[in-house]
Each structure stands twice: as C-alpha cells, then as structure tokens.
Structure 1
C-alpha cells in the first residue's frame, strides 16, 4: 500500500471537499486507517503533498487534522530528529498551517506547533528550517500558545455538518440514528476499508470527545464535576482513549481549571493530581496547556485551598513527567507573572536546575539564564530586586544559588556579556550566598 499512498491520499483529500457528509466521513475513516497502519513517514509525505496547499479550506482542514493525529502518534523526538526528509518538510508545513486563513486548519496547525514546542530541540530546529523573515511570527505564535493555551476547537463551517446520507433514505440527522444503525454503518466502513481490527475508530474517538466535552462544558456545575470524575476514571481504566483524544479533552478540562466557580475549580485542580499520576509522561503533549491553566490566578489566589491544590498540581507534574518538558513553560511564567506566583515559579525553576543541569547543561543555560538576566535587569538603580517583602529577591537568590552550584565560575562568564545593572545585581546576590 505504501507505494500507492501518495496517489490514494491525493484522491481521498479531493473527496474531502465534497458537501456530502457521508463521503467526508468515509474519507475520514480511510485516512484514519492510513494513519494507524501505514508507514508514518510515507503518510506524512502523502498528506503534505496532497493537501497542505489545496485551495479548498475543507481539504486543508482535513489534511491538518489527520496530520496532527499522525504527528502525535510518531512523537516529537522522531519528528525533530533533524532528518532532511522529515524535519525539513514538517516544520515549514506546520507553521504554514498555523497561519492558515481557515480557522479549522489553523487550529490543527497550532495544535501541532504546541505539541512540538515542548521538545527541547524545538527552538534549534525552528531556527534551522524556518526562513528568517517568518521566524519572529512563529515565535510569537508559540509564545501565545504557551501562555494562553490552544483554545476551543472551532466549529466545523461545513454547512452539512451533523448530517449523513443513508442508502435509499435521503439525508437525516446523525443524532437520529439509533445504536444499531450506527453500529451497522461503522461495521460497513470497517469492512470496506479493511480496518476491522483497528483499536479505535474515528467515530469512537469523536463520540468520546463529544461526550466528555459535553459534561465538562455543561451549564450545571454538578455535571461538570461528573465530567471531571469521568475523566479521572477514564485515565485509570481506559487511558488509551484519553491519550488518543488528548488535545480536545484537555482543552475542555482546561476550562474547568480556569473557571470562576471555586468549587469546580478546586475539584479540577485536585483531580489533576490524580490524572497526572495515572497518565504520567503521556501528559507531556499538553504541558503547555496545563501549566498556564494551573498557575494563572491560582498561585496568587487568596483561597488557601485553591492555592495549595495548584501547588500540588505543579508538584505532581514535576514528580511524574520528564522535567525537561517543564523548564520552558516554568521559565516563561516566572518571567511574566507577579506577586507570590512569580516567587513560586522562580523557586520551582531553581529546583529544576538542580535536577536537570547534570544531564542537560546547555538546555538549562539556554532557558534559565535569560530568566535570571530578566530578574536582575528589572532591579532598581540601587540594584535591589523588585518584590514585596523581598520575596522575589529571595527566590532569585535561590535560583542564583542553584545555578552557581551547578555552573561555578562560568555563571560570571555568561554574565559578562550582560548590561551593567545585571552584572551589578548578580554580584550583589553572589556576595550574600557565597
């Protein structure tokens, strides 16, 4: 099948622009089978060739959606390995989709961009494969995604959404089909495309996303809490379903982490600790969604229970995930937050330095030193660092101590290229901790 893949995908994507929902669903099912069973690199090449520059926005959206599923299956490490046939093609394509005129295609492009941005080699590859004229725009997009998250899945603009054709029966609402009809339709699709043994069909996945998102987005706070409970249970008993739908599911869950109802808010933060323990590294894909949702507002909350739950959620991430994935989002938030939240994040970064520097020294220097220079650079003319009761200064001193312990005299060597006020602030701190 691999040899005919490019032509087949091109033909399928052409059909994705049809107004008939049944045809579009058949196309989705076929492409989903391809993602599950064909050689990943050939699938990526076929999707990029067949649909990335198509004039029809529906085709570009279909391409982007299946490309996103494929990338999440392959993993960021392989995609950013630097291979000419993979990294060189995929990064420009994703950044192009992230700026697409179609809202749906743009969503999936940004989802892929956010997914890859959590990898330590992302910035290096970005500089290597993205033209200089586009680099700042891409970086701005990534920064926005890291700080604000991905946002909600846009509504499908196709006018025939929610309808499907059945042989001899015209067009009916999909929601009006009974369970037997849906099962029969799914069986026919599986038989037609040879995917009887596919572990999770696109229909199952979409139905799960719809169901869990409906609960988490309910107007009734009790239903939203039920949705959180179900997500925890699914993480324990059916983790593959959650992981395979991780972006839309955690987009919906993120809203519960950020909502104004303190009861639901607290319940979501506490439940996230359980979810993190259950899914562990599988959550690495959504770190840049979760960290802003945890730290924004909560670390400055006057509600002690919410503050404690937020700290607990951060600690759960640190304990269960590879901390290299947390370094960038923690540094970003430590730079832009204020008050107690800023202090907490600086101290968390200091803790990461101790754990990560022995195995990833260049990565720590690349991510953490700019944070330290920023903290020192925002000091007053007297060299003292802003912060009520000296809390930020104390946290900065801890960060400086952690870096000094790991880097030794090279910390001063790096500082030599910084402005005078930064060097002065560093020297003052070093005097207090030596």
Structure 2
C-alpha cells in the first residue's frame, strides 16, 4: 500500500473539503486507518504532499489533524534527527500549520510544535530549517505554549452521526463509525479509534471534568485513571486536550477535587510514564505553582508525591527546564522543594544540559537575598537547598564550576567560594 499512498492521500484529502459531514467522517476514518497501518514516514510524506498547501481550510485542518497523530507516533527524537526528507519537511510544515488562518488547523500545528519543542535539539533544528524572518514568531509561539499551555480547540458543530449522550457519569467510547470494529476488539488495549470517536471522547470527558457538581468532576478524574489502565492508547492519542482538561481540576478552588486530582495524577504518571513528556509543560506548573506552597498538609504531600512520580517515571532531561524555571520564579516551600530535587535527583546523562539549565538557577540563588535562610518549611531553607545544589554541581563539574562562576558578579563568585570552602572543611 505504501507505493499508492501519495495518490490515495491526495484523493482522500480532496474529499475532506466536501460540505457533506458524512463524507468528511468517512475520509477521516480512511485517513486514520492509513496513519495507523502504513509506514509512518510514508504516511507523513503523503499528507504533506497532498494537503499542506491546499487552498481549502477543511483540507488543511484534516491534514494537520492526522499529521499530529503521526508526529506523536514517530516521536520528536526521530523527527528532529536531521534526516533528509524528514526533519527538513516536517519542521517547516509544523511551523506553517501553527500559523494557519484556520483556528483548528492552527491548534493541531501548535500541538505538534509543543511536542517537538520538548526535544533538546529543537532550537538547533529551528535555526537550521526555518527562515530567519520566521524564527522570532515561532519562538514567541513556543514560549507562549510552554507557559500558558495549548488551550482548548473550538470544534466545528458536530453532525448527528456518531453523537452520543452522556449518561450515568460514564464515558461511552463508541461512535457509529467504529462500533462494529470496537466490539470485535473490545479486549485489545492497543485498540485504534477513529478521529470522530476521539472527538466524542474528549467532548464527554470535558463535560464530566467541567461539571458544576464537584462529584461529577471527581468522577471524570476517576474515569481518566480507568482509561489510562484499560485503554491507554485512547488517552495517549489525545494527550493535549485530555491534560488541558485535567489541569483545570488541579488548579480549581475546591480542595477536595485538587487532592483527588493530585493523588490520581500519581497513578496516571506510573501508567503513562514517558508518554507524558508531551505535556510536561502543562503538568509541572499545575502541580507546583500552588500546591507545593499549600498550607493543607494532605495537598502538599500529594503534590510532593506527584513531583516524585514525575522524577521516577520520566526522562530527567525533560524535567530540567520546567523545574529550573519554576525554582527561579517561585518562593517559599515550593522553591526549596524544587531546588532540593534538582540537587539530589535530577542529574541527567548529559553534563552540558545540566550546565545549560541549572547554572543560571544557581547564579540566581546565589545572587538574591532568598538564600539567606529566611524561608523555612517542611523541606528546610532556601539557603540549605542552595548549599546542596552547589555541592551537587561541584561533585558533577569539579573545578569547572568555579571557572564558570568567574564570569559572574563578584558577590556570586564569593558566595560560591564560601559555600565550597565550608564543604571542604566539614
């Protein structure tokens, strides 16, 4: 089938611009089957060739929708490897879709951009493959995505076909397009769902999690945990909308829901592990911004548990940037906890990455009054955490740490010298 993909995808995408909702749903189902069953890179090439530059907004939306699935499937590491006809095609395409005039196309483009931006080589590849005139805009977009999240996508009004009501608080994952195949494979955890089915799933999950009744919101969280256990591929295929909805439950004012969400998140992290790398920049702020400074002991301990679950189950290189950023701008117990975690548990395999991400935080800590020891909490003081970070970096870098500090203001260099002298004499 791979040999016919270009022609097949082009014909299908052309039909995605039809006004008939029935035709569009059938096109979605066919393209979804192509994405799931054909060679991913060939499918990606076919979608880019057939739909990227199409004048019809519906075709571009359909292209971006299926392309987003492929980007998640192939992964940022391979897509940003610099391979000819791969990186040089997908990165400019994603940047173009992220700036599309269609809101839905733009959503999927930014979803892909956020995923790719989590890779350590993203900026290097951006400079290599994106024209200088577009770099500033793309970087601004990435910064906004990392700080504010992807947000919600406003869907077109769904057709009556495949629509199901929400009843009994449960989620019904079956659309008219996939009912027969789902029945045949109901025990298969790696079951593939059509685009229409995924849209309905997100719609119903958001309805539960956005309910005015806090008990229904808790029920929605429970349902998500169940889905992660029984049907993880459905969740993995919808990471951004799922965790945008979940984030709201972490941040809401009802402490019962907060606590339930934080405890559920620990289970979710263990179930999905590295798949959560796509949404680290959504989860870390939602966990640490309020809950690590909470006066509610149960919420504080649940937030600590969620933080430790991230460290235990995700690649530590993915956590360095969000942890360092939050440790720099937060205060109180949250600052102490994050600095301690960086000092004790977050050393990745690549020394250069540690120096690039952690040293700016260390200079900040040494150069501000926050390390005077005035902030105390369950985890000690900022000064103590800063000392631990200095010691860990010195063990990691040796004399190079002082060499790096020599370019900093004299008070920072002196503070570091004093701390290291105390270590050597103790």
TM-score of the superposed pair, with normalisation by structure 1: 0.85
**1:404 offset after TM fit, Å?**
0.5
1:194 aligns to what? none
1:340 aligns to what? 333
Aligned pair partner of 2:301 in 304, 308, 320: 308
Return the alpha-carbon distance in structure 1 between the equivalents of residues 179 and 230 of structure 2.
24
Superposed counterparts of 1:122-137, under 5 Å: 122-137=122-137
**1:217 offset after TM fit, Å?**
1.6
CA-based RMSD of the aligned residues comes to: 2.8
The range that moved more, 388-397 or 253-262, is: 388-397
1:388 aligns to what? 374
**1:36 offset after TM fit, Å?**
0.6
**1:283 offset after TM fit, Å?**
2.0
Return the alpha-carbon distance in structure 1 between the equivalents of residues 253 and 283 of structure 2.
17
1:205 aligns to 2:198 (yes or no) = yes
Gap regions ≥5 residues in structure 1: 165-171, 189-196
Superposed counterparts of 1:324-339, under 5 Å: 324-339=317-332
**1:183 offset after TM fit, Å?**
4.1
**1:95 offset after TM fit, Å?**
2.0
Superposed counterparts of 1:24-43, under 5 Å: 24-43=24-43
Superposed counterparts of 1:138-149, under 5 Å: 138-149=138-149
Aligned pair partner of 1:417 in 402, 407, 426: 407
Considering Cα pairs closer than 8 Å and 6+ residues apart, tell me whether 1 or 2 has the greater RCO: 1
Superposed counterparts of 1:28-427, under 5 Å: 28-152=28-152, 154-156=153-155, 158=156, 161-163=157-159, 174=163, 183=176, 199-353=192-346, 355-356=347-348, 359-377=349-367, 379=368, 385=371, 388-389=374-375, 391-427=381-417
Secondary structure in 2 matching 1:300: coil
Return the alpha-carbon distance in structure 2 between the equivalents of residues 199 and 185 of structure 1.
9
Q: Tell me, yes or no, if the aligned pair for 1:327 and 1:352 is still in contact at 8 Å.
A: no
Return the alpha-carbon distance in structure 2 between the equivalents of residues 184 and 422 of structure 1.
63
Gap regions ≥5 residues in structure 2: 166-171, 182-189
TM-score of the superposed pair, with normalisation by structure 2: 0.87
Return the alpha-carbon distance in structure 1 between the equivalents of residues 247 and 294 of structure 2.
17
Q: Tell me, yes or no, if the aligned pair for 2:164 and 2:175 is still in contact at 8 Å.
A: no
Compared with structure 1, are the counterparts of its residues 99 and 387 closer, same or farther at alpha carbon in structure 2 (3 Å cutoff)? farther
Return the alpha-carbon distance in structure 2 between the equivalents of residues 280 and 184 of structure 1.
31
1:433 aligns to what? 423
Return the alpha-carbon distance in structure 1 between the equivalents of residues 3 and 162 of structure 2.
38
Q: Tell me, yes or no, if the aligned pair for 2:373 and 2:384 is still in contact at 8 Å.
A: no
